[in-house]
Structure 1
Amino acid sequence: MKLVVTVVGKDRVGIIAMVSRILAENNVNILSINQNILDGFFNMILIAEISGSKIKLTELQQRLRESGREINVDIKAQHEDIFNVMHNI
C-alpha cells in the first residue's frame, strides 16, 4: 500500500530528517520526495510504501501529526487511494 505524506509550514532545520526518521523507525520505505521552499515556507510531498510495516496507518498518522505540531508544521499522511479521490476533478 502506498502512502502520501504532505508537510507544510515555516522552514526550519530538521523537517525532512524528522519525517524520514519516523518512517524508517516503522519500516516505511520512502519511494519519492519532492520538496521546495518558497518565501520561507516549506512544502513537501512524499510517496512511501507502507506494506512492509507493522504499524497501523492511524497510529502512523498520529505520530507524524504530533511530531509536526512539536516543530510547528502540518503533516498529513493518507492512503494513496484517498489522496487520489480527494484531488481528482
Structure 2
Amino acid sequence: MKALVTVLGKDKVGIIASVCTYLAGKNVNILEISQTIVKGYFDMLMIIDVTEATCSPGELAGGLEELGEEIGLMIRFQREEIFESMHRI
C-alpha cells in the first residue's frame, strides 16, 4: 500500500534525516521525495510504501505527527487511495 507524507515548517538542519530515520525504523520504503525551500520555509512530499511496515497505518500517522511536534514541524500521513478519492473530479 502506498501513502503520502507531507512535511511543512521552518527550515533547519536534519529534517529529511529525522523523517527518513523514523520511516526506516518502521520498515517503510521511500519511493519518491520532492522538497523545496521557499523564503526559509521547508516543504516536502514523500510517496512511501507501507506494505512491509512494522506498525499499522494509524500508528504510523500518529508517530509521524508526534515526530513533527518534537522537531517543530507539521507532518501528515495519508493513504494514497484516500488522497486519490478526495481529488477526483
TM-score class, shorter: over 0.9
CA deviation after TM superposition for structure 1 residue 64, in Å: 0.6
**2:53 paired residue number:** 53
Aligned length: 89
**1:77 paired residue number:** 77
Measured in 2, the distance between the counterparts of 1:87 and 1:13 equals 33
| Identity in percent | 48
CA deviation after TM superposition for structure 1 residue 33, in Å: 0.1
Quote the RMSD (CA, aligned, Å). 1.0
**1:64 paired residue number:** 64
Gap change, CA 1:10 and 1:88, over 3 Å in 2: farther
**1:4 paired residue number:** 4
Measured in 1, the distance between the counterparts of 2:85 and 2:14 equals 31
1:32 to 2:32 alignment: yes
Write the letter of the residue equivalent to 2:45: I
Uncovered stretches (5+) of structure 2, i.e. residues with no partner: none
User: TM-score, normalized by length of structure 1?
Assistant: 0.94
1:16 to 2:20 alignment: no
CA deviation after TM superposition for structure 1 residue 22, in Å: 0.8
CA deviation after TM superposition for structure 1 residue 53, in Å: 1.3
Uncovered stretches (5+) of structure 1, i.e. residues with no partner: none
Measured in 1, the distance between the counterparts of 2:55 and 2:63 equals 11
CA deviation after TM superposition for structure 1 residue 83, in Å: 1.4
